[in-house]
Structure 1
Amino acid sequence: MKLAFILAYKNLVGSGLRTWLNVSVLSFAFVLIIFYNGMIDGWNEQARRDGIAWEYGGGQLLNGQYDPYDPFTLQDGHGVLPAGENEGLIPVLMRQASIYPEGRMLSVTLKGIDPSQTTLELPTHLLSEHSANLPVIIGKRMAEAANLEAGDEVLIRWRDKDGTYDAGNVTVVDVFDTNVPAVDNGQMWISIHELWQMTGLENHATLYIAETPGNSIDVKGWEFRSQKDLLKDLSDIIEMKKVSGSIMYLLLLAIALLAIFDTQVLSIFRRQREIGTYIALGMTRLRVVWLFTIEGSMYSLLATAVGCVYGTPIFIYLATAGIGMPTASQNSGVIMAARIFPVYGAGLIFGTMVLVVVSATIVSFLPARKIATMNPVDALKGKMQ
């Protein structure tokens, strides 16, 4: 075994530029696989954390008539939980409304929430601390769309429980910054006590947010969605991104492996007399095959070593400084921070190493199988069968 590694190493070093070209391409594929998957894992971790902190809490209990994907269900998609069933739940009432900033009309979703809640990171405490008649808080994207700032007043129109229109002025008391577009784009947050008075829907809620993750809540006429259910759409997007990205780096890996395959074929063709000498000296065909397989697999070992040398400082920097994302991506409706901090776990790094080494070993073994069928005499003469 030791002799095989020594011979393989000397042959690789003797190949010179050809060896380092193969190692360079394979090491780049190795680094790219870790970089891309680390970025996707970092995005996934950040998005899950932000989604739970700003929107989902420990899970949501939705009214049976409310469909989050159908805004027309907001009018009738609300109700009152039976007495004793709302412990540990934060009520949220949602109503369609329109605001008129600078003479324009914008459709918004007016969301009422308990100002004393601490489960979500929304600064709802400001709704009870401000002296304005109807204080509201909005996100930075909503503020940009409506050209509003903290302290501005704007006319708002809504419908009460009977469908009658009513209007009044609301005061923006805070503009918060969040990565979760579902609590920002087209949203206005108001005290649920104020919204109950405005609509006449006392104690009604469109959904309830669980303060802590726990078991499923079974209430007739309501549907409970756990954190896993609520994050399913995000998980599907992440998986789709991983699959689409894998096509790119697998093509690069395939190019590197093809180069190794061609190198091994050429090496076996040019070193027939060497192979015949090994067999004539008593080395079994299997050991000769193993020698050439090790020689090919050592490309991957050198590639991982080279990749670690220049990839490690890059990964450390990116994990610390993050990767800036364009503003357009943050307005796509998907939870995405302005900077994504990649996560390079030990499983990702060692899994990629195994993928590269195993792939290179298999590719090296395929042409080396030809040695097992060689005639030693013909090999010594340099004749390939």
Structure 2
Amino acid sequence: MKLAFILAYKNLIGAGLRTWLNVGILAFTFILILFYNGLLDGWNQQAKLASIEWEYGYGELRATNYDPYDPFSIQDGHQSYKPEDFNMLTPILIRQASIYPHGRMLSISLKGIPHDQEQLKLPTTFLNPSQGEIPVIIGKRMAAAAKLTEGEEVLLRWRDKHGTFDALPVTIVKVFDSDVGSIDSGQMWIGLAQLQEMTGFKDEATYFVASKNYTHQERNGWNFIPQETLLEDINKLIASKKISGSIMYLLLLAIALLAIFDTQVLSVFRRQKEIGTYIAMGMTRLQVVGLFTVEGSMYSLLAMLFGALVGIPILSFLAVKGISFPEVTQGMGVTMAERIFPVFSLQLIAGTMLLLIISATIVSFLPAKKIANMNPVEALKGKLQ
């Protein structure tokens, strides 16, 4: 085996430019696979962490008649509760409302949350009544859509539990910046006690956000949605992106493997006398096949070495500095940070290396197996059987 590696290495180096072209495209494919999958893994981790910190917590306890995908369920989607029986849970009440910024009307979801909660990263401390008569906070997307700024007043209209309309001016005390668009677009946050008083829904909530130490117990009128279920959409999105992206780098890999296959076919054809000499000197056909297979698989080893020399500085820099995305992507309803930091795990690197080695070995073996049927005498004459 050692002799096979030495001969294979000398043959590859002797091939010159042809070898380095094959190695170059394999190395490029290697770096591209690592970069793309690392980017998606980084996006996945950041999106999950942001969703947990800003929106989902460690699960949601929803009122039975509330469906977050059905806006018509908001009207009746609430249940009464006893605060002392709902420990480790942050209550949130949702009501439909309208605001009138600069003479326009916008329909919004008005969400009430305790100003002293610490479960979510929402800056709810600004909702303390001491901040203003009716303080509210909004996200940067909502602020851009409504053209509102911090300190500005806007007229808010809502319905109480009897269906009666009421309206009061509210003050924008904070415009927060979050990567999670689903807690921002078309929404306004207000103190829970304030909203319950305004609507008459005393000690009622639409859903609760669970803390890390929460242990679920069956409760009448409430459905618990675990964190894994809440994050399913993100997982499915990332999985679909990986599948679509794999088409691109598999095409590049196929081109590189085709080049290796062609090179090996040409080697078997042009090196018939060499093959015959090996057999005449006592090497078995299987050993000669192994030699040519090792020679082809060494393309992948050289490609990974070259890819490491070029890719490690580039990928390390991107992992530390991140990749900036335009702000237009922030309004697509997808949890995406303005800067994504790729994650290159050992599993990803080892899996990619294994893919290249196995693929290169297979395409090298296919033309090399023809050697097993060669007549050594004919081979020495330079003629295939």
What SS is found at the alignment partner of 2:95?
Answer: strand
What SS is found at the alignment partner of 2:204?
Answer: coil
Instruction: Indicate if the aligned counterparts of 2:82 and 2:203 stay in contact, CA closer than 8 A.
Output: no
Please say if 1:13 is aligned against 2:13: yes
Give the corresponding residue for 2:71. Answer: 71
For the residues of structure 2 that align with 1:381 and 1:350, how far apart are their CA atoms? Answer: 44
C-alpha RMSD over aligned residues: 1.1
Query: Structure 1 stretches of 5 or more lacking a match?
Result: none
CA drift at 1:84: 5.0
CA drift at 1:332: 0.5
Give the corresponding residue for 1:100. Answer: 100
CA drift at 1:163: 1.4
Greater mean deviation of Cα atoms: 12-21 or 129-138: 129-138
Give the corresponding residue for 2:363. Answer: 363
For the residues of structure 2 that align with 1:200 and 1:343, how far apart are their CA atoms? Answer: 49
Instruction: Indicate if the aligned counterparts of 1:272 and 1:383 stay in contact, CA closer than 8 A.
Output: yes
Classify 1:285/1:214 alpha carbon distance in 2 versus 1 (closer, same or farther; 3 Å).
farther
For the residues of structure 1 that align with 2:217 and 2:306, how far apart are their CA atoms? Answer: 53
Instruction: Indicate if the aligned counterparts of 2:161 and 2:201 stay in contact, CA closer than 8 A.
Output: yes
Please say if 1:253 is aligned against 2:253: yes
For the residues of structure 1 that align with 2:31 and 2:213, how far apart are their CA atoms? Answer: 38
What SS is found at the alignment partner of 2:80?
Answer: coil
Matches within 5 A, 1:1-385: 1-81=1-81, 84-128=84-128, 130-212=130-212, 214-385=214-385
Instruction: Indicate if the aligned counterparts of 1:280 and 1:376 stay in contact, CA closer than 8 A.
Output: yes
What SS is found at the alignment partner of 2:269?
Answer: helix
Normalised by the size of structure 2, how large is the TM-score?
0.98
For the residues of structure 2 that align with 1:113 and 1:83, how far apart are their CA atoms? Answer: 13
Given residue 47 of structure 1, which amino acid in structure 2 is its aligned partner?
A: A
CA drift at 1:214: 4.6
Given residue 117 of structure 1, which amino acid in structure 2 is its aligned partner?
A: Q
CA drift at 1:215: 4.1
For the residues of structure 2 that align with 1:203 and 1:297, how far apart are their CA atoms? Answer: 69
Given residue 209 of structure 1, which amino acid in structure 2 is its aligned partner?
A: V
Instruction: Indicate if the aligned counterparts of 1:216 and 1:226 stay in contact, CA closer than 8 A.
Output: no
Query: Structure 2 stretches of 5 or more lacking a match?
Result: none
What SS is found at the alignment partner of 2:161?
Answer: coil
Classify 1:372/1:214 alpha carbon distance in 2 versus 1 (closer, same or farther; 3 Å).
farther
Question: How many corresponding residue pairs?
Answer: 385
Instruction: Indicate if the aligned counterparts of 2:44 and 2:235 stay in contact, CA closer than 8 A.
Output: yes
Greater mean deviation of Cα atoms: 232-241 or 344-353: 344-353
Report the identity percentage.
61
Given residue 153 of structure 1, which amino acid in structure 2 is its aligned partner?
A: E
For the residues of structure 2 that align with 1:282 and 1:373, how far apart are their CA atoms? Answer: 16
For the residues of structure 2 that align with 1:213 and 1:326, how far apart are their CA atoms? Answer: 37
For the residues of structure 2 that align with 1:245 and 1:160, how far apart are their CA atoms? Answer: 50
Given residue 288 of structure 1, which amino acid in structure 2 is its aligned partner?
A: V
Instruction: Indicate if the aligned counterparts of 2:83 and 2:203 stay in contact, CA closer than 8 A.
Output: no
What SS is found at the alignment partner of 1:130?
Answer: helix
CA drift at 1:302: 0.3
Instruction: Indicate if the aligned counterparts of 1:59 and 1:213 stay in contact, CA closer than 8 A.
Output: no
CA drift at 1:227: 1.1
For the residues of structure 2 that align with 1:110 and 1:47, how far apart are their CA atoms? Answer: 24
For the residues of structure 2 that align with 1:318 and 1:213, how far apart are their CA atoms? Answer: 36
For the residues of structure 2 that align with 1:99 and 1:61, how far apart are their CA atoms? Answer: 29
For the residues of structure 2 that align with 1:211 and 1:3, how far apart are their CA atoms? Answer: 62
What SS is found at the alignment partner of 1:348?
Answer: helix
Instruction: Indicate if the aligned counterparts of 2:138 and 2:175 stay in contact, CA closer than 8 A.
Output: yes
What SS is found at the alignment partner of 2:169?
Answer: strand
For the residues of structure 2 that align with 1:191 and 1:92, how far apart are their CA atoms? Answer: 10
**Cα deviations by residue, 1:124-156 (Å, 9 ceiling, x for unpaired):** 011116341110001111111111111100001
For the residues of structure 2 that align with 1:130 and 1:303, how far apart are their CA atoms? Answer: 64
For the residues of structure 1 that align with 2:29 and 2:129, how far apart are their CA atoms? Answer: 56
